[in-house]
Amino acid sequence: MANTELIHLLKDYYPFTLLTEYQLQDMTDKANQTTFSKNEFLLHEDETAENLDLYFLVSGLAKNILHQRNGKQISLRYYYPGDIIGLMVMFTSGELNFSVQALEDCTVFKLNKSHFFEIMTRNNEFSKVIWESIGERTKSLYDEMKNKTLDEDDENLELLRTRVNTMMTPPIFISSLTTMSEAASILQQNDVSGLVVSDDSAKVNGVITNDEILNYVKQPSSYLNKVKDWMNSTPFTVHANSFSFEALSFIKNKALDFIPVVHNQTVIGVLSSRSFLNLEDSNYLDITFNVQNSHNISSLIKQGPLENVTLQSFVQDLVDKDSYAYEVAEAITNHNDNLHRQIIKLTVNEMKNEGYGTPPINYCFIIMGSQARHEQGFHTDQDNGLILNDFEHLPNKSAIENYFQIFTRKINHHLSLSGFPKCTGGIMAQEVKWRKSLTQWKEEIQTWKTELDAQEIQNFTMFYDFRPIYGDFSLAEEIRMYLTDKAKRSKTLQQLLMKDALRFKIPTHPFGILSLKQKTKKINIKKTGLTQIIYSIRINAIKYGVHEVSTIKRLDVLKKIHAMHPRDVENAKTALHYLHYYRLQQNLNQLENNQEVSNEINIMELSKEDRIKLKEALQIAHRMQQVTKISFNRNRVV
C-alpha cells in the first residue's frame, strides 16, 4: 500500500479528519509501511520509550501485555485495525513495563512520533481528541489491571493469613480540640506511632502521627494549633477480620506506620509496623526481599534452600509450632519459585549483555513435579520446561531456536548452582523434548494419548503436573485446557496411568497388615506414602477433569464435586501432613548435621507415638491406592 493510499485511508478516519490536507500529507510522507508476523513483538518491554514510534494498525490483531514483578504476564487489551499503537508511551521516557505482540499477521504504518507530536501542537482540535483518548485508555487499563490483579493474585500464603485482630494493640484516643503540643507529648510519653482522633472514643475523625507533628513544627501558628487543624482526616483503616497481609501491603508500599482497626465503624485497635515484628512469617518476608534484590547469580546461590540458614530456621519454627506440614512445604516451594523467577530475569539480562538481545517471541517457563504441586522439601532437583509461541512460520525460525537453546541452557546451569541439581532424567528446558512450541506440545499430548509406553507414561505424569511461573501464562493456560480435556476423554490413558501407579506398593504382611519392621529400618517417605496418595488423587483429578495441580487443592475440588467423601478427603490431608512432617523434620536434622539431604526415614529413630502416626498415614495411602484400583477396574478397557 503506497503512502497515497494511506492518505485515502486516514482522511475519512476520525480523528485524522480534523487534520488539514497539508498536515495529513505531511504526516503520511514520513510514514513507512511494515508488517509483523504472528507472535512477533511490535513493542517490547526492554526497549526505551525514546526509541519508539507509533503504529497505525491497518490489518491484523495485536495484544497489550503487562509484565508483573512476579514474572507473570497479563493481557490488558487488544488492538484492532484503526487503532494507534504506542500512544501511551508517546509522552513518557525510560523503559516500558509492557509489550505489544501480534496475535495475527499485522500490517501497520509506522508514524514518526516526534512529527506526530509536532502536528498535535499545530492542531488544537486533533490534540484534544488524542489527549482524551489517552486519558480514557489510561483509566480503562487501570481498571482492567486492578481487576486482573485482584482476580489472579493467588500467591498469598496460608502462612500469611493471620487475622488483624490477633495482632492489634489498644488505641489511644485524643479529642480534635487537643493542642498539637499536647498531642506530641502524648505520642512521646506512650512511645506509639500514632493517635486516633475521636470525640466519642469510637468513630475515627482522623489520626495524628509523627508526620503531622513535623508539619506543625515546620509551620507553627498561634491560631491553627489544634489537632483538628493538622490531623489526617482520611486515614487508611482496616477491618478487624482482615488478613494481616492486607494491612502489611499498605505499610510496606505506602510507607504507612499507623492504621486504625475498625469493627462496625468503631475503632477497636491499631496496627503499626511494630505489630508485624512478632509475625512468624516476618523472616519469610525478609527472605523474599533478599531474593528479589539479588542482582547476580553469586548472591542468589546464598539464597538457595540448602544454603539459606534463615529459611531453614523459619521452616523449623513452623514445624515446631504445629503448622500443617503441607503448608510448610508450600512455603518452601514459594521460596524456590521466587529463586527461579529471579534466575530467569538475571539470565535475560545476561543474554542481552552478551549480544543475544531480548527473547524474540513470547514464552512461558513451567515447572513440574513436586514444585508444581507446591510439595517440596529440601531434597529436590530440577523438573522444568518451556512453552513457546508458535514460531515455525517465521523467517528467523533458526535464530529463535538457537536463542532459546542458549537461554535455557544458561537457566538450567544457574539453577544447578543455586541448589537445584540437574534432573538425571533430563526433564529440563534445555532439552528439545521439554522445550516446544504451543502446537508442538499439543502434538506431543496427542502422541502421549495414543502411543504411551513405560517411559512415556512417566513423562506424561510429570508433565501433567505442570505449573507456569514466568512469562506468558496464557500459553500454559491453553495447554492446561487442552491437556485436561484430552486426558479426561481417554479411558485407555487413565487405565495405563492406574497400572503405572500400582508399581509403587506399600509393603504388607501376607494377611494385609501394614508393618514398619523393614530390614533396613528405613523407608523412603516419598516412594512409600506420598507417591501413593499423589498418584491416586492425580488419577481421580484426570478422571473428573480437575484443573488444579496441588494435591491439596485437587482434594478440595473432588470433595466439592462429590467425587470423594469429606471424611476421605480429611483422612488424605491428615496423611499428607504426617508424611510431609517426617520428611521435613528429617531434612532439617540432616542439614543441621551437615549430612546429605534425602527422603529416607529411619523408623527406629522415631518415638512410639510417631511410629503409630506414620503407620496410620501409610494405611490411608494403601487404602487410597486400593480404592483407585477397584474403581478403575470396574470399567476396564485394557
Q: How would residue 403 be classed by pLDDT, with cut points 50, 70 and 90?
A: very high
Query: Is the domain of 420 the same as that of 297?
Result: yes
Q: How far apart are CA 286 and CA 498, in angstroms?
A: 43
Pick from 210, 203, 286: which is nearest to 248 by CA? 286
Q: What is the CATH number of the domain that holds 363?
A: 3.30.460.10
> pLDDT: is 24 or 7 the higher one?
24
User: Mean of the pLDDT values across residues 342-349?
Assistant: 95
Q: What is the CATH number of the domain that holds 125?
A: 2.60.120.10
pLDDT digits (tens, 9 = 90+) for 234-243: 888 888 877 6
What pLDDT shows up at residue 634? 46
Q: How would residue 638 be classed by pLDDT, with cut points 50, 70 and 90?
A: very low
Query: Is the domain of 415 the same as that of 436?
Result: yes
- Asked if residues 291 and 300 have their Cβ atoms less than 8 Å apart, the reply is yes
Q: Is the pLDDT of residue 635 over 90?
A: no
Is 493 part of a structural domain of the chain? Answer: no
User: Mean of the pLDDT values across residues 572-577?
Assistant: 94
Query: Is the domain of 331 the same as that of 479?
Result: yes
Query: Is the domain of 308 the same as that of 409?
Result: yes
What pLDDT shows up at residue 157? 42
Q: How does DSSP classify residue 545?
A: T
Q: pTM, whole model, 2 decimals?
A: 0.72
Q: How far apart are CA 70 and CA 544, in angstroms?
A: 31
Q: Which residues contact 61 (CB under 8 A, 6 or more apart)?
A: 78, 79, 80, 102, 103, 104, 106
Query: Is the domain of 224 the same as that of 253?
Result: yes
> pLDDT: is 256 or 547 the higher one?
547
Query: Is the domain of 362 the same as that of 436?
Result: yes
Of 196-205, 426-435, 497-506, the poorest mean pLDDT is in 497-506
Query: Is the domain of 532 the same as that of 475?
Result: no
Q: What is the CATH number of the domain that holds 207?
A: 3.10.580.10
- Asked if residues 394 and 37 have their Cβ atoms less than 8 Å apart, the reply is yes
Instruction: Read off the amino acid at residue 57.
Output: L
Is 412 part of a structural domain of the chain? Answer: yes
> pLDDT: is 307 or 158 the higher one?
307
Q: How would residue 482 be classed by pLDDT, with cut points 50, 70 and 90?
A: very high
What pLDDT shows up at residue 587? 93
Domain end residue (candidates: 460, 487, 514): 487
Query: Is the domain of 81 the same as that of 219?
Result: no
Is 158 part of a structural domain of the chain? Answer: no
What pLDDT shows up at residue 522? 83
Is 594 part of a structural domain of the chain? Answer: yes
Query: Is the domain of 220 the same as that of 347?
Result: no
Q: How many residues does the chain have?
A: 638
Q: Cα-flanking dihedrals φ and ψ of residue 113, to 5°?
A: -65, -50
> pLDDT: is 591 or 514 the higher one?
591
Query: Is the domain of 397 the same as that of 423?
Result: yes
pLDDT digits (tens, 9 = 90+) for 38-56: 999 988 877 776 777 889 8
Query: Is the domain of 2 the same as that of 104?
Result: yes
Pinpoint the alpha helices (H) of 123-163. Answer: 124-152
Q: How would residue 632 be classed by pLDDT, with cut points 50, 70 and 90?
A: low
Q: Is the pLDDT of residue 511 over 50?
A: no
Cα dihedral sign, 593-598-604-607: positive
Is 159 part of a structural domain of the chain? Answer: no
Task: Render 218-268 in DSSP notation, one character per residue.
Answer: HS--SSS-BHHHHSBSS---EETTSBHHHHHHHHHHS----EEEEETTEEE
Angle, in degrees to the nearest 10, between helices 566-592 and 309-320:
140
Q: How far apart are CA 383 and CA 426, in angstroms?
A: 8
Query: Is the domain of 272 the same as that of 290?
Result: no
User: Mean of the pLDDT values across residues 563-576?
Assistant: 90
Is 157 part of a structural domain of the chain? Answer: no
Domain end residue (candidates: 149, 176, 193): 149
> pLDDT: is 6 or 352 the higher one?
352
Q: How would residue 69 be classed by pLDDT, with cut points 50, 70 and 90?
A: low
**What's the number of domains the chain is made of?**
4
How many secondary structure helices (H) and strands (E) does the chain include? 22, 20
Is 401 part of a structural domain of the chain? Answer: yes
Q: How far apart are CA 255 and CA 45, in angstroms?
A: 28
What pLDDT shows up at residue 150? 43
Pick from 187, 230, 224: which is nearest to 206 by CA? 230
Of 326-335, 395-404, 445-454, the poorest mean pLDDT is in 445-454
Q: What is the CATH number of the domain that holds 621?
A: 1.20.120
- The chain-wide mean pLDDT, for the chain, equals 84
Containing structural domain, residue 59: 1-149
What pLDDT shows up at residue 415? 95
Is 184 part of a structural domain of the chain? Answer: yes
Domain end residue (candidates: 277, 311, 338): 277
Distances (CA, A) of 246 to 142, 163, 259, 271, 560: 20, 10, 11, 12, 28
